[in-house]
Amino acid sequence: MYDEMASKYTVEYIAGGATQNSIKVAQWMLQIPGATSYMGCIGKDKFGEEMKKNSTKAGVNVHYYEDEAAPTGTCAVCVVGGERSLIANLSAANCYKSEHLKRPENWALVENAKYFYIAGFFLTVSPESIMLVAEHAAANNKIFSMNLSAPFICEFFKDVQEKALPYMDYVFGNETEARTFAKVHGWETENVEEIALKISQWPKASGAHKRITVITQGADPVVIAEDGKVKLFPVILLPKEKLVDTNGAGDAFVGGFLSQLVQEKPIEDCVKAGCYAANVIIQRSGCTYPEKPDFS
């Protein structure tokens, strides 16, 4: 399919990866050199080199694990009428090993960070790495956040997701993922506000921080559940003709949100920044952005 796309259509090659997209957007919003770091796995090939170049240029401090055998992961994005369909060939992205995380130069990044974000997708790759970071965050009063990422994660990786959930201070997701999470756990409700609340009340590993659930719903308001209450925040509506593609919108929302969270801004500002970033990204191809943000 990839060959067919490359030979029959004009293809754009854009550096991606769910967590990496979010971190790059947070870095872009912050405009502070080296404010963010990222770890993941790439192959020793042309795409891997491109990825390094792209992320470094974006100002992210990347420490990749380079797999000897597997090529860098790729994902075909087909866009029809602004809606996206993704066909992934995870390849090297599926090969990350916790040994890399434990190396002194990489664990130092963990020691120095105050906030952590990992996409739910990574539960399929290295739950051990996730637990190492989660336990470090809980033991050191740091903020640990994850994303539900996709309905299949909630369905088929339920056990590892449940193991990490007590450590999550922020849980991100969209309405479809939230409803799947509820169904898998036998909560007989489709009501996103109710589900967000129940996720926020799931038992926690450490009492230092409460859990906040953040659920996006496309053009509908963002749902925030904390302290037994739900708040709704409207998103910035975009005229249909301005929509290029929704690819990376959820990742960008998280990136914008995190950029304010790390500055200890109130939740309203975090959501506003998330909505701003998502709005910028859906007017462009892939998870890309202009040189400077126009957010205040």
Q: Residue 159 belongs to what H/E stretch? A: helix 158-164
Q: Which two tokens stand for residue 275?
A: 């909505």
251 is catalytic: yes
CB atoms within 10 A of CB 281: 27
> Among residues 247, 245, 268, which one has the least CA distance to residue 256?
268
Q: How far is Cα 63 from Cα 69, in angstroms, rounded to an integer?
A: 18
Rounded to a whole number, what is the largest CA-CA distance in the chain?
A: 55
Q: Which two tokens stand for residue 121?
A: 């997708």
Catalytic residue among 227, 251, 269, 294: 251
> Among residues 145, 124, 215, 212, which one has the least CA distance to residue 173?
215
Please enumerate in sequence order all residues whose Cβ is within 8 A of that of 81, keeping only pairs 6 or more positions apart, or say none: none
Q: How far is Cα 50 from Cα 16, in angstroms, rounded to an integer?
A: 11
Q: Residue 43 belongs to what H/E stretch? A: strand 37-43
Three-state DSSP string of 250-265: HHHHHHHHHHHHCCCC
Q: Which residues pair with 88 in a beta bridge?
A: 75
Point out the residues that are catalytic: 251
